[in-house]
Amino acid sequence: MTLDAVLVVAAALFAVGVYGALSQQVVVMVMMGLELMNNGVLLAAAAMWWFLAPDPTGQVLLLVVLAAMTVEMAMGFAVATLFHRERGSDMTDMAEDLAG
């Protein structure tokens, strides 16, 4: 187990998440892609901590990543609920007018 190896695995997780976030039509599946991207970030940050500077500061940073994941999921579910109520749909293609 080396830093390079863990970072490559984290990159693979992140890349799979990118595919999901860009390709999926269902809002909840898009959120799954974002979660996988966060998963990769979590693993990469943990590897940086362990292999480069294993002091408590890095652990605190990982805690922030986890908190960001929970916020993303909570607000994502809230927006998905509102979207489903307003438009009776869970597809991103039905929300193209939100693109700005």
Partner 1 sequence: MLADLVFWGLSVVAVVSGASVFRVDSMARATYALAVSFVAVGAALLLMRLDYLGLITVLMMVMEMAVMAVYMVMFMGMNPALMPMSMVHGKRAAVAAAVTVFVVLSGGALLVDWPARRGAPAPDTVAALGEALMGSKMLVMMAISPVMIATMVAGIAVAAPRGRYDRFGDDLRSPAADPQRGGVGR
Question: How far is the C-alpha of 58 from the C-alpha of 34, rounded, in Å?
Answer: 22
- Would you tell me which residues interact with partner 1 (CB under 8 A)? 1, 3-20, 22-29, 31-33, 35-36, 39, 42-43, 46-47, 49-57, 59-60, 62-64, 66-67, 69-71, 73-75, 77-82, 84-85, 90-91, 93
Question: Shortest approach of partner 1 to residue 100 CB, angstroms?
Answer: 18
22 vs 99, beta carbon nearer partner 1: 22
In whole angstroms, how far apart are CA 6 and each of 9, 11, 13, 51, 89?
A: 5, 9, 11, 10, 39
Question: Shortest approach of partner 1 to residue 59 CB, angstroms?
Answer: 4
Q: Are 89 and 98 in contact (CB under 8 A)?
A: no
Question: Shortest approach of partner 1 to residue 97 CB, angstroms?
Answer: 16
35 vs 98, beta carbon nearer partner 1: 35
Residues 6+ apart with CB under 8 A from 42: 62, 65, 66, 69
